Structure 1
Amino acid sequence: MNQELLNELRQISDEEQGYLKGQVDVDRGIYMEPETHMVDYKRLIESGKTIEIRTHTRFVHFPAHTHNYVELIYMCSGQTTHIVNGDRIELKTGEMLFLNQNATQEIYPAGEDDIAVNFIILPAFFDYALSMMGEEDNLIRKFVLECLKSKDADVSYLHFQVSGVLPIQNLMENLIWTIHNKQPNKRSINQATMGLLLLQLMNYTDLVSVGKDNKNQELLMSVYRYIEEHYKDGELSELAQMLHYDVYWLSRAIHSFTGATYTELVQQKRMRQAAYLLETSGLTVADIAVAVGYENVSYFHRLFQKTYGISPRKYRTAKRTDKEEKNLG
Structure 2
Amino acid sequence: MLSTFNAIEAEQQKNHKYVEEMPASAINKEASKKDKLKVLNDYFFRNKDIYISKHNRFAAYPKHTHMFLEINYMLKGNASQVVDGNKVKLVQGDLLLLDVGAEHAIAALGEDDLLINILFRNSNINIELLKDLRRSRSVLYDFLLKSSMGENSSKQDYLIFRTAHNHKISEILDEIIEEYFRKREFSDSVIKAYLQILITNLVRDYHIADVKKNNKSQKLVIAMLAEIDKNYATISLDKVAGKYNYNKNYLSNIFKREVGKPFSKVILQKKMTQAHTLITSTTLPISRIIEAVGITNKSYFYKKYYEFYKEKPLAERQFNNNVF
Give the match for residue 195 of structure 1: 196
What residue is the counterpart of 1:18 in the other structure? Answer: 11
Opposite residue 190 of structure 2, the aligned amino acid is: I
Give the direction of change, closer, same or farther, for the CA distance of 1:247–1:267 in structure 2 (3 Å limit): closer
Q: Residue 171 in 1 paired to residue 172 in 2? A: yes
Matches within 5 A, 1:1-329: 8-27=1-20, 29-30=22-23, 32=27, 37-43=37-43, 45-124=44-123, 126=125, 154-206=155-207, 229-230=229-230, 232=232, 248=253, 251-252=256-257, 254-255=259-260, 261=262, 263-283=264-284, 285=286, 287-292=288-293, 294=294, 296-298=295-297, 301-308=299-306, 315-316=313-314
Distance 1:91 1:229, change over 3 A: farther
**Mapped partners of 1:326, 1:290: distance in 2:** 27
Q: What per-residue deviation string (whole Å, max 9, x for no partner) do you get for residues 224-283 of structure 1?
A: x96995472678989xx9xxxx9746624543xxxx655434423422321332344354
Shift in Å, 1:167 = 1.7
Q: CA deviation at 1:111?
A: 0.9
Contact 2:255/2:263 (8 A) holds in 1 = no
Cα 1:98–1:322 shift into 2, 3 Å: closer
Compared with structure 1, are the counterparts of its residues 288 and 154 closer, same or farther at alpha carbon in structure 2 (3 Å cutoff)? same
Deviation (angstroms), 1:63: 2.4
Shift of 1:199: 1.7
Is contact 1:79–1:90 with CA below 8 Å preserved after alignment? yes
- Contact residue 302 and residue 313 of structure 2 kept, 8 A: no
**Shift in CA distance, 277/53, structure 1 to aligned 2, threshold 3 Å:** same
Give the Cα–Cα distance (whole angstroms) in 1 for the partners of residues 209 and 253 of structure 2. Answer: 27
The answer on whether the counterparts of 1:159 and 1:208 sit within 8 Å (CA) in structure 2 is no
The number of equivalent residue pairs is: 276
* TM-score, reference length from structure 2: 0.68
Contact kept in structure 2, 1:161 and 1:207, CA below 8 Å: no
Contact 1:70-1:98 within 8 A present in 2 as well:
yes
Contact kept, 8 Å, 1:162 with 1:207, in 2: the verdict is no
Structure 2 letter corresponding to 1:251: K
Distance in 2, matches of 1:79 and 1:166, equals 18
- The secondary structure found in structure 2 opposite 1:10 is coil
1:200: how far off? 1.4
Gaps of 5+ in 1: 1-7, 145-151, 211-221
| Matched letter for residue 172 of structure 2 | L
Secondary structure in structure 2 of the residue aligned to 1:111: coil
Give the counterpart letter for 2:9 in structure 1: E
What is aligned with 1:219?
Answer: none
> What is the TM-score when the length of structure 1 is the normalising length?
0.67
Which of 1 and 2 has greater Rg?
2
Residue identity in the other structure for 1:184:
E
Give the C-alpha shift of residue 153 in structure 1: 7.3
Shift of residue 324 of structure 1?
6.7
Which structure 2 segments of 5+ residues have no match?
146-152, 212-221, 245-250
| Secondary structure of 2:58's aligned partner | coil
Q: Label 1:164 to 1:248 Cα distance change in 2 as closer, same or farther (>3 A).
A: same
Contact kept, 8 Å, 1:161 with 1:208, in 2: the verdict is: no
The answer to whether the 8 Å contact 2:96/2:159 transfers is yes
Q: Distance in 2 between matches of 1:105 and 1:192?
A: 28
Match of 2:149 in 1: none
Are the equivalent residues in 1 in contact too, given 2:73–2:96 (CA < 8 A)? yes
DSSP-derived class of the 2:300 partner: helix
CA 1:126–1:110 in 2, change beyond 3 Å: closer, same or farther? same
Q: Counterparts of 1:138 and 1:186 in 2: how far apart (Å)?
A: 34
Distance 1:23 1:95, change over 3 A: closer
Contact 2:172 2:198 in 1 (8 A): yes
Aligned counterparts of 1:84 and 1:325: Cα–Cα separation in 2: 41
Post-superposition shift, 1:198? 2.0
Name the amino acid aligned to 2:121. Answer: L
CA offset at residue 194 of structure 1? 2.0
The 1-side partners of 2:154 and 2:53 are apart by 26
Counterpart CA distance in 2 for 1:153 and 1:70 is 19
Q: 8 Å contact 1:271–1:307 — kept in the other structure?
A: yes
